[in-house]
Amino acid sequence: MRLSAAPQDTLLFDLRFNRSEHDLFSAFRKIYGEKPAVEKRLKALLQRHWLARSEALKNLDLKRDLNPDWFLSEKMVGYVFYVDRFAGNFNGVLDHIGYFESLGINYVHFMPCLKPRPGNSDGGYSVMDYRAINPALGTMQEFEAVAQALREREISVTIDLVLNHTAKEHEWAMKAKAGDIQYQDYYLMFDSQAEVLAYEKTLVEVFPNDAPGNFTYYPEFNKYVWTTFNEHQWDLNWANPEVFLEIADIMLFLANKGVDCLRLDAVAFMWKRLGTNCQNLPEVHDILQALRAATRIAAPAMIHKAEAIVAPRDLVTYLGVGRHTGREANLAYHNNLMVHYWSSLATRDTQLMTYVLRKHFPERFRNASWATYLRCHDDIGWAITDEDCAQVPGIEAFAHRKYLADFYAGQFPGSFARGGIFQENPLTGDKRNSGSFASLAGLESAETELEMEAAINRILMGVALMASFGGLPLLFMGDEIGLLNDYAFAQVPEHAHDNRWLHRPEMPWGKRSAIQQRVFDGTRYIIQQRKACPHLAADIPTRIVAVGNSAVFAFVREGDEGPLLAMFNFSELWQNVPNEFLSAQGALKFLDVLSAASVATPEGYVQLPPYARVWIT
C-alpha cells in the first residue's frame, strides 16, 4: 500500500539521511570538530528543504537514486553559454530548446546568472545575491520556468555557485563593513599589516595585471580583507561553521528552483593556511565532501562539478581519492586534456600529451568523471610543468610555455592561430591566451581552400577527442558553428579591459554560412555517433597508449562490448600506424565508428589523413 505524502516524505528523508550521515558528519567534524548544536541545525535545514521540494523534483530524486550514474552515460553531451549572448534573456532561452535537441544536447550550463554587483563583476562571478537572478536576464520565476521546460525535455541545468568569495556588496559584507562582528567572521579580515605580509610571502597573484596582491585595506573600518581575485570579491572564512550552514542553505534553495548541477567556482582557494600558497589544502576536500553529502540527502537529483584549474597531482583529488573516493565532486574539468590538445596541435607532437595523461590520471573514478572541453569562457593557462617536460626529450618547460603563448597569439612565425595574450606577468614571464576555438584552430587566418579544410578538421578532431576521451563533453557556445574572435569587445567599456571577451561573441541566429554549416553538421554527427557507442560511457576506463608515431595520440576504452581504440593525427601530414598496433589493442575488425568503414589497408597499416579522428572497434 502506498504511504500518504507526509509519512513517505519522512521515510525517504530518514533513509537518505542514514545513507549519507557518515559522509556528512565525518567530513564536517574533520573541519569543525564536534559541534552537536550546529549539527542539529544542519539536519533541520536539510529536512526543511527536502519537505519544500516540489513533487516533480522529488520524482526526479527517486529516478536518479535508482540510476545514480545517469550523468556518466555516453548519451550525455553538454552546452555552455552566456544567457544574454545566446538568447537575450531567460525567456529567450525557451525559443531555442529545439536547437539543443537538434544538436543532441541534454545538459546546459548557464554561465553566471545569479545577481552580480553593479559594474565590473568579473564576468558575473562577483555575486551580491545568491537567491536572485541577474535582473538583466530575468527573474527567479522566469529561471524556474526555463528549468522546468528543459527538465520536461530531459535537459539538465547547471549554474555557477561561487564558494570562495562574495561581492563586497553582498548583505553579509555590508553588515561586516558596518561593524557587525558576527558577519566580519564570515570573511577573512585582519587588523595588522604584519599578518597580511606574512601570508603574502607564499601566495601567488591570480590577476597580476588587474588586481595585484591578495589583500585590500579599507580605512573606513580599519581592516585588511582577503581579496584573492579582485578588490570587490571578499574571500569567505570557511573555518566558520556558520559559513558552511549558509552555503548549504543556498545550495538547497537553488536545487529547489530546478538546478540539476552546481558548478562550484574557485574551490581550490577555499581554505587558508599560513606558510602555504592557500590552494588545494586538505580541508577543501572535507568541505566538498560534506556539501555533496548534504545535497545527496535533501536533493539527491543534484550533482556537483568542481572548478579547479590546477596541476595534475591536485586535479585528480577533486574527483575523490583516499577517504574521499566516491564522495566528493561528481565532475571536474579536465584542463590538462584541453591544454595538451592545443600544445600538441602547435608542435604536431603528442609525446608530452601521452606522457602527462598516462602518468598523472587514473583510468576511471568511482561515481565521478571528467567534464571534457577544449574551450570555455576563460583563458588558457599553460599548465605544463618543469617535471613533466623533463621526461620528454627536447622540451624545456619555460620555453615551451612561451612558445605556446606566442603561437596562439598569432605572434610566432607560421602560426595558424589568432588569439590574444591575457595577464602577462613581467616578473615571471608567464602569460596566458584568449581566443575562440575556431580562431585558435586556424579558421580565422585561413586564406586558401587547403587552409580552411585543415582548420575545420582541427576543430572536428577536437570535438571527436573530447566526445570519446571519457567524461561529459562540453561545447562552448558558438564552437559548434566555428564562431571567430569578436574584436568588437574592445568597444564595450565594461569589457574592454578583459580580452577574454574576445571568445564570448553573441550567437548569430539566422542563416549559417557554408563553413558554419560544415562545422555544425560535423559536430552533430560526432555527437550522434557518441550516443550510439556504449564504449564511451564515462565509467568505462580510458587507457592511454603510445602508438610509436609522435604525431598520433591514442587511447583505448575497455568496455563490456570489447575495446574501442581512438586515434588522432595532430599533424597536417598523412601518418601510418601498423595493423599490428591495432591488433595489439584488441581491435578485430578495424571498423571506424565515425566513418562506418574499414581502415585497414593491404599494405599492412592504417593511413591517417591530416587531423584524422578514428574510433576503431
Count of CB atoms within 10 A of residue 135's CB? 10
Q: What is the pLDDT of residues 195-247, one digit of tens each?
A: 999 999 999 888 877 778 899 999 999 999 999 999 999 999 999 999 999 99
Residue 37 lies in a domain: no
Q: Are residues 317 and 383 in the same domain?
A: yes
What whole-number distance in Å separates Cα of residue 343 and Cα of residue 262? 30
Q: Are residues 488 and 553 in the same domain?
A: no
Q: Are residues 191 and 142 in the same domain?
A: no
Q: What is the pLDDT of residues 528-560, one digit of tens each?
A: 999 999 999 999 999 999 999 999 999 999 988
Q: What are the DSSP calls for 236-270, one per residue?
A: B-TTSHHHHHHHHHHHHHHHTTT--EEEEETGGGS
Confidence category of residue 5, pLDDT binned at 50, 70, 90: low
Q: Are residues 222 and 357 in the same domain?
A: no
Cell 575488425 identifies what position? 589
Give the pLDDT of residue 604: 86
- So which residues are the catalytic ones? 265, 307
- Domain end position, chosen among 513, 533, 553: 533
Q: What is the pLDDT of residues 80-119, one digit of tens each?
A: 999 999 999 999 999 999 999 999 999 999 999 999 999 9
Q: Are residues 437 and 352 in the same domain?
A: yes
Average per-residue pLDDT in the chain? 95
Percent of the chain with pLDDT over 70: 99
φ and ψ at 104, to 5 degrees? 95, 25
Torsional class of 116: left (φ above 0), alpha (ψ -120 to 50), beta (otherwise): beta
What whole-number distance in Å separates Cα of residue 468 and Cα of residue 592? 13
Residue 59 lies in a domain: no
- pLDDT at position 2 over 50: no
What whole-number distance in Å separates Cα of residue 353 and Cα of residue 107? 28
CATH of the domain at 205: 3.90.400.10
Q: Are residues 78 and 134 in the same domain?
A: yes
What whole-number distance in Å separates Cα of residue 606 and Cα of residue 610? 13
Q: What is the pLDDT of residues 273-290, one digit of tens each?
A: 999 999 999 999 999 999
Q: Which domain holds residue 603?
A: 542-616
C-alpha cell at 586: 584488441
Residue 20 lies in a domain: no
3-state secondary structure (DSSP) of residue 614: strand
Q: Are residues 216 and 106 in the same domain?
A: no
What whole-number distance in Å separates Cα of residue 149 and Cα of residue 89? 15
Q: What is the pLDDT of residues 24-49, one digit of tens each?
A: 999 999 999 999 999 999 999 999 99
CA-based nearest residue to 57, from 67, 46, 49: 49
Q: Are residues 89 and 204 in the same domain?
A: no
CA-based nearest residue to 590, from 612, 607, 571: 607
Angle (CA) 524-509-375 rounded to 5° is 55
Residue 268 lies in a domain: yes
Q: Are residues 300 and 182 in the same domain?
A: no
Q: Are residues 225 and 351 in the same domain?
A: no
State which H helix or E strand residue 564 sits in: strand 562-569
Count of CB atoms within 10 A of residue 593's CB? 21
Domain count, the chain: 3
Confidence category of residue 3, pLDDT binned at 50, 70, 90: very low
Residue 1 lies in a domain: no
CATH of the domain at 562: 2.60.40.1180
DSSP H helical ranges for 469-566: 514-531
Q: Are residues 477 and 498 in the same domain?
A: yes
State which H helix or E strand residue 578 sits in: strand 575-578
Angle (CA) 502-371-139 rounded to 5° is 65
Q: Strand 472-476 relative to strand 78-81: parallel, antiparallel, unpaired?
A: parallel
- Domain end position, chosen among 235, 257, 278: 235
CA distances (Å), origin 275, targets 201, 212, 310: 8, 19, 19
User: Residue 296 in contact with residue 290, Cβ under 8 Å?
Assistant: no
Q: What is the pLDDT of residues 155-202, one digit of tens each?
A: 999 999 999 999 999 999 999 999 999 999 999 999 999 999 999 999
- Domain end position, chosen among 190, 210, 235: 235
Residue type, 257: K
Sign of the dihedral defined by the CA atoms of residues 582, 586, 589, 593, in that order: negative
- pLDDT at position 1 over 50: no
Sign of the dihedral defined by the CA atoms of residues 192, 195, 199, 200, in that order: positive
